[in-house]
Amino acid sequence: MSDILRIEGLSKRYGSVQAVDDVSFGIPEGICFGLLGPNGAGKTTTIEIMEGITAPSAGRVLFRGQPIGKGFKAKVGIQFQSTALPEFITVKETLELFSSFYDRPRPMAEVVELCSLADILERDNQKLSGGQRQRMLLALAIIPMPEVVFLDEPTTGLDPQARRNFWDLIGRIKAERTTVILTTHYMDEAQLLCDRVAIMDRGKILDIDTPEALLAKHFRGVLIRLPYDGCCSDALSGFEGLVTRADSIELQTETLDRSLKDLLAAKVNLEGLSIHKPNLEDLFIKLTGNALRT
């Protein structure tokens, strides 16, 4: 499959801050692409350059092999991280307003259905809850029948129920074979929705691949986690693949049975031990060396 969007050598500098530092990658058509990173990693700057909203300091963005040009805005749908809506007009009126901007907008009924807006059509924009607002902003993004939808941290600040509902909506858009580009700092979200992820920190891409390939590349076996009380560092010093954190010790192993027996033999206190399969969150912590700075 060919790349619908490619960025090459992208950099963006704000004063003395290098927000994006020589980033290049391609996004195949029809997938859900996740740009993951902690706050301040450069995700929003990167995605806004791809949207054509922010001009890069260096590098270029190619849409279907061509630099993004005049018709680009009519072919993409964008949901920004924080957008106020025009005040004193209803959801329905706002949808009508945005529909008027495009030559062939998606029929209103379809937008309402896709984003579950039927119950709030007559409500004033100012009176929407967090989840309703995000659904509304998603609706604005899909009005143009976009070839690419950009979603910048669409579920930040939503309660767990609203987040799950929102994932459902993104699933419906994915089902239309629309390319979705998503930034998030929720790893469960990325794991659930994304076909391909790039992990970003301090303006650079640390790694990029399918979630499965990334996990296979960086982890083998499972993770054993123990609470850390500072007492047993000597007893543990012989173990390979050991990572000590502020409040826990993590041991990566392909031979779980053997490792557990070794721990017992070393007389390590196993109270509070947990075993889990590595996920994107573990990978993220491993790559950035940070707990998520949410």
Partner 1 sequence: MIIKQFGALFKARTMEYVRDRGTFYWSLLFPVFLVLGLAFAFSGGDDKLFKVGVVGVQDPSVALLGMEQVQLVPYPDAAAAAERLARHQIDFMIDFTASSFAINAESSKGRLVRDLFLAQQATAPDGSGNRAVTFSETVVTGKATRYVDWLVPGVIGMNMMFSSLFGVGFVIVRYRKNGVLKRFKATPVSALNFVSAQAASRLVIVLLTSVVVFAGTNAFLHFMMRGSYVNLLLLTVLGILCMISLGLVFASRMRSEEMANGVLNIVTFPMLALSGVFFSLEGSPQILRTVSRAFPLTHFIEAARKIMLDGAGLAAIAPNLLVLGALTVVFLAIGSALFQWE
Q: Which residues bind partner 1 (CB under 8 A)?
A: 51, 53, 73-74, 78, 80, 82-89, 93-94, 96-98, 100-103, 140, 144
C-alpha 197/C-alpha 280 separation (Å) is 10
Give phi and psi for 228, each to the nearest 5: -110, 120
Residue pair 194/211 in contact by the 8 Å Cβ criterion: yes
C-alpha 245/C-alpha 228 separation (Å) is 8
Q: Which CB atom, from 18 or from 81, has the smaller least distance to partner 1?
A: 81
C-alpha 215/C-alpha 117 separation (Å) is 37
Nearest distance from C-beta of residue 228 to partner 1, angstroms:
43
Q: Which CB atom, from 137 or from 251, has the smaller least distance to partner 1?
A: 137
Nearest distance from C-beta of residue 156 to partner 1, angstroms:
15
C-alpha 171/C-alpha 173 separation (Å) is 5
Nearest distance from C-beta of residue 130 to partner 1, angstroms:
16
Amino acid making up residue 211:
P
Q: Which CB atom, from 102 or from 228, has the smaller least distance to partner 1?
A: 102
Nearest distance from C-beta of residue 34 to partner 1, angstroms:
21
Q: Which CB atom, from 140 or from 249, has the smaller least distance to partner 1?
A: 140
C-alpha 286/C-alpha 25 separation (Å) is 22
Nearest distance from C-beta of residue 46 to partner 1, angstroms:
16
Nearest distance from C-beta of residue 273 to partner 1, angstroms:
47
C-alpha 268/C-alpha 226 separation (Å) is 10
Nearest distance from C-beta of residue 77 to partner 1, angstroms:
9
Q: Which CB atom, from 14 or from 275, has the smaller least distance to partner 1?
A: 14
Q: Which two tokens stand for residue 138?
A: 């998603």
Q: Which CB atom, from 67 or from 88, has the smaller least distance to partner 1?
A: 88
Helix (H) or strand (E) holding 42: none
Amino acid making up residue 52:
G
Q: Helix or strand or coil: residue 164?
A: helix
Residue pair 239/251 in contact by the 8 Å Cβ criterion: yes
Nearest distance from C-beta of residue 136 to partner 1, angstroms:
11
Cβ contacts of 294 within 8 Å, gap of 6 or more: 38, 39, 185
Q: Helix or strand or coil: residue 215?
A: helix
Q: Which CB atom, from 154 or from 211, has the smaller least distance to partner 1?
A: 154
Q: Which CB atom, from 86 or from 272, has the smaller least distance to partner 1?
A: 86
Give phi and psi for 176, each to the nearest 5: -80, 5
